[in-house]
Every structure is written in C-alpha cells, then in structure tokens.
Amino acid sequence: MSDPINPHDICPRPQRLPPLSTAPLSNPLYLSSVYRCESPDQADAVLTGQVIDGFHTGYGYSRDGHPNGDLLAEKCRQLHGSQRAIVAASGMGALAIALLSQCQTGDHVVLSNRLYGRSFGLFVQEAGRLGIRSSVVDTNDLAATAAAFNARTKLLLVETISNPLLRVADLTALAEIAHRHDVQLFVDNTFASPVVCRPIEWGADLVHESLTKIMNGHSDVVLGLLCGSEQNWSRVADVASIWGLTAGPFDCWLAARGISTLHLRAQRAGDNALVVAEFLQSQPGIDAVHYPGLTTHPDHALARRQFGRHFGSMVTFTLSGGRAAAVRFIQGCVEIPFCPSLGEAGTTLSHPESTSHRGMTADQRADLGIFGGTIRLSVGTESAEFIVQALSGGLSVQ
Ligand SMILES: *Cc1c(COP(=O)(O)O)cnc(C)c1O
C-alpha cells in the first residue's frame, strides 16, 4: 500500500485508465474537450492535423476533432463512397459549412424551388447578407435550370427526394448541366438516405444528410453530414471549427449506434411505404397519393432508374375535405404521433400547411401541390398491418 494522497490533490488524478488486455466491442465515448500532449513536437504535429489512413494521429481540442466525430464521419464517408466527410452540429450546420467553404461575396447559387424551408433561409436570406446571390428555379425543368447559371454561379442545390410531394431530382442530368457551366452539384439526400441513393455515384460533388432524420433514426440527436472530394475540401475544416459548427462527442456516439441499423430500418420502412401508398390509393376521400414507387408518380421512371428497388419511407396524400379533414384524421389516427420531423423507427405524420410550409402563402403552397388536407407520413418499421390499421382509424372518421 502506498501512502494516502492529500484529498486536495485527488481531483485531477489518476489521469490514466487501467490498461486493457481486451478491446471493448462497443465504441468508447470520448467526452474530453481537450487532450494531453507529450511534447511541443507532438503538439505541433497534432495541431497541423497530420492524418494517417484517414484518421488523425492525435487530438488536441475537441472543437477541431474527436474520435467519436471521426468514427461517425468515416462510417458516413464509406456509406456515400465519397473522398471526404465531416459531421456538423446539425443538418443546418453542415449546409452552412458548404456555403461558407465553397462561396464568397459576389458568388451566386442556384436553388431548387422545393428545398427545405431553412435551406432557403440560409442560401437566400443569410447568404444574401454576405453578398452571395441566389436564383430559385424548378430543377425538374432542366432548361430553366441551365438558364439560371451565370459566370459567378458556384453551386446548384437540389434535394434527391423533395418535401412533401416527393419529386425526384434527375441527378445525372443536373450534374451534366452543372459541370458544363463549371458549377458544383450539391445534393441534400436527407429524404433518401444512402440506402436509397448515393448521389456521388450519379455525379454529385457535395452531399448533405441531416443525420437527425433517417440516418440516426431514433429521434435523440440533432446532427448533420457533409460529403465531398479532396478538390472541394480545402476550406472545410477551418470553416467548421472557426464558425463553431462542429458536433459534440455524445451525439456522434449515439448516431454511430443508430446508423448500425440504418440498412434494416430503411429497407423495412421502404417496403412498408409501398404497401401504405397502395392502400391509400384504394381509399375513398383522398384526392392524391404521392410516392415515387407508384406508377402514377410523375417521376416514377426516373426513380426506378436512379433508386432501383427502394423508393424511400415518405408517403404524402391529400384528403378531399381540406384542413378540417386533416384535423379529424390526426385525431382519429391515435397510434401515429403528429411530429414535424421524419425518419424515426416508428411511423409519424406531419401536416405541412401548419408546420414545414407555414411560412408560405396559400397560393405558393397550392403551386407546390400542398393543401390544408395534405398529410405527410414518415413510414416506420412496424408491421405493415399495424400501420394500415392505424391509418384506417384516421380515415374512418372522415
Ligand atoms: C431536417 C432537414 C434539414 C436540416 O437538418 P437539421 O438536422 O434539422 O438541422 C435539411 N434538409 C432537409 C431536407 C431536412 O429534412
């Protein structure tokens, strides 16, 4: 036995974990905000960011990087088949990294008219304050998209599957138009996930996922992902750290765990979504059912070519009776929570008019095909029979 230590000196000691002769199967969580260096030479090497086999040789300060963030980014990089990947504190953080690393004052971006609302906030309103201009076009109209480029255009931003009408972007054609004008194609793949589509394979230069949604899949984390190439990555690490957009270790640890079952969740939810869409199509009191896996969807042929067998887990439909019908449906659908997010393990529903698209005028919404009776389902991993039964509860009170 050694002499007891003075209690005043115990708090920072011991600084070393017990030696392990066996490795933990589950990934350790490294909450430390800062790391100890052996010497000034090591500090130099760590802070220059030496990388071996895709991993940093050491960590200094966790805003610049930590093992749980790198592990998650590496999993996502492999899922997308990209050269580089970074995890951000939210999907919006990852989109901000893209904007701030690829554009500067005087530049111009072309945006799909069906983007996520906050993406317009970032790329129109906030980018505008920095002197970066934008044009909003219907990117399913390839001629209109090509006509929107000018000599300062840096990015074309589209969503693989749009919200809430689930229009599909023709990535090959958009990449071809963008590259002809020396513009990078930037794809928000949140509604697809890499199980349905890997945009890099279709010519995208940058890919975004809100890891908050299908990727993590358990509604307990807000995180984002940006994937890109060596060529467009030079400013990414600095932008992320200097603007304070990087993610914390615990969220990364949770998301790495969530992603372990992504393939099972996405396949099951996708199979269920087709059953649900076909069921809704057979029901009275519904004006329209939107699902890229249905032959009636305007982008079905494109979806078949680009996605193969899976068409995602989102299904949108419009009840004939307007907002009053939507209110009755939501109250009758007791097993399906009304949550304005998506991609959970269980089925949820949203009402675009009162949530994601409430900032628009009724005319703007009508142009996109969104009405008071429009309901967006995020189909989950329960049995298809359970989900159909739950939806029947909402339809029976119409
Ligand atoms: C949710 C979402 C985002 C933003 O992601 P957060 O993680 O909420 O910041 C961006 N794009 C799409 C399509 C989304 O659904």
Q: What Å distances lie between residue 305 and 197, 298, 302, 341, CA to CA?
A: 11, 13, 5, 28
In this predicted structure, the answer to whether residue 15 has a pLDDT above a threshold of 80 is: no
For residue 164, cis peptide bond before it (omega within 30 degrees of 0):
yes
Label residue 327 by pLDDT band (50, 70, 90): very high
Beta bridge partners of 158: 187
- Residue with the smallest CA separation from ligand 1 atom 8 is 91
β-pair partners for 289: 317
Q: Looking at the chain, list the stretches that DSSP marks H as alpha helix, in order from N- to C-terminal side.
A: 40-48, 67-80, 91-102, 117-120, 127-129, 142-147, 171-180, 193-196, 236-242, 249-259, 262-281, 300-307, 322-332, 362-368, 384-395
Name which of 6-10, 110-114, 165-169, 383-387 the model is least confident about.
6-10
Please state the rounded mean pLDDT for residues 160-189.
Answer: 98
Lowest mean pLDDT among 3-12, 17-26, 116-125, 381-390: 3-12
Distance between CA 397 and CA 309 in Å, rounded?
34
Q: Give pLDDT, residue 43.
A: 85
Q: What is the mean pLDDT of the chain?
A: 95
C-alpha 214 – ligand 1 centre gap (Å): 11
Q: Is residue 311 scored above 80 in pLDDT?
A: yes
Complete edge-to-edge strand list for the sheet that includes strand 374-378: 286-290, 314-319, 374-378, 348-350
Closest ligand 1 atom, residue 95 Cα: 10
Measured CA to CA, the distance from residue 356 to residue 110 in angstroms comes to: 21
Q: For residue 159, give the ligand 1 atom closest to its CA.
A: 13
Contact 173, 145 (CB under 8 A): no
3-state SS class at 133: strand
Is ligand 1 within 6 A of the CB of residue 162? no
Residue 257 near residue 265, CB atoms below 8 Å: no
Distance 248 CA to ligand 1 centre (A): 18
Q: How far apart are CA 223 and CA 205, in angstroms?
A: 21
For the record, the structure tokens of 194 come out as: 């890499």
What pLDDT, on the 0 to 100 scale, is given for residue 350? 97
Taking alpha carbons only, the member of 143, 134, 194 closest to residue 170 is 143
- Residues sharing a CB contact under 8 Å with residue 285, sequence separation 6 or more, in sequence order: 319, 320, 321, 325, 395, 398
Confidence of residue 56 (pLDDT cuts 50, 70, 90): low
The answer, yes or no, to whether residue 11 has pLDDT greater than 80, is: no
Q: Does residue 14 surpass a pLDDT of 70?
A: no
| Interval 34-62 mean pLDDT | 80
Ligand 1 atom with least separation from CA of 115:
13
Per DSSP bridges, beta strands 84-88 and 108-112 are: unpaired
Contact between residue 288 and residue 369 where contact means Cβ atoms under 8 Å apart:
yes
**Which pLDDT band, with edges at 50, 70 and 90, does 44 fall under?**
confident
pLDDT at 54 over 70: no
Q: What whole-number percentage of the chain has pLDDT above 90?
A: 87
Judge contact between 138 and 144, C-beta under 8 A.
Answer: yes
Q: What is the mean pLDDT of residues 103-125?
A: 97
Question: Does 303 score more than 70 pLDDT?
Answer: yes
Q: Express each pLDDT in 78-109 by its tens digit.
A: 999 999 999 999 999 999 999 999 999 999 99
State what percent of residues in the chain have pLDDT above 70: 97
Indicate whether residue 198 lines ligand 1 (CB < 6 A). no
Average pLDDT over residues 276-288: 97
Residues 135 and 127 sit within 8 Å (Cβ to Cβ): no
pLDDT band at 332 (very low <50, low <70, confident <90, very high): very high
Grouping H, G, I as helix, E, B as strand and the rest as coil, residue 371 is: coil
List the structure tokens of 34.
Answer: 């800062």
Given a cut of 70, whether residue 206 has pLDDT beyond it is yes
For 341-364, what is each residue's pLDDT tens digit?
999 999 999 999 999 999 999 999
Residue 154 has pLDDT above 70, yes or no: yes
pLDDT at 55 over 70: no
DSSP state of 19: P
| pLDDT at 164 > cutoff 80 | yes
Amino acid 8: pLDDT? 84
C-alpha 195 chain-centroid distance: 13
- Quick one: pLDDT at residue 48? 81
Nearest CA to ligand 1 atom 2: 210
Question: Which is it for strands 206-210 and 224-228: parallel, antiparallel or unpaired?
Answer: antiparallel
Statement: residue 52 has pLDDT above 70: no
Q: Give, using CA atoms, the residue closest to atom 1 of ligand 1.
A: 210
Which band of pLDDT confidence, cut at 50, 70 and 90, is reported for residue 47?
A: confident
Pairing of strands 314-319, 374-378: antiparallel
Is residue 251 within 6 Å of ligand 1 at its C-beta? Answer: no
Q: Could you give the count of Cα atoms lying within 13 Å of 266 in the half-sphere of its Cβ?
A: 23
Cβ(80) to ligand 1 under 6 A? Answer: no
What is the Cα–Cα distance from 58 to 209, expressed in whole angstroms? 27
Quick check: 2 pLDDT over 90? no
Asked whether 187 lines ligand 1 (CB < 6 A), one says: no
- Taking the C-alpha atoms of residue 141 and residue 167, their distance in angstroms, rounded to an integer, is 12
Cα(392)–Cα(231) distance, integer angstroms? 51
User: pLDDT confidence of 51, banded at 50, 70, 90?
Assistant: low
In ligand 1, the atom with minimum distance to the C-alpha of 163 is 13
pLDDT of residue 38: 86
Cα–chain center distance at 17:
36
Average pLDDT of the segment spanning 44-54: 73
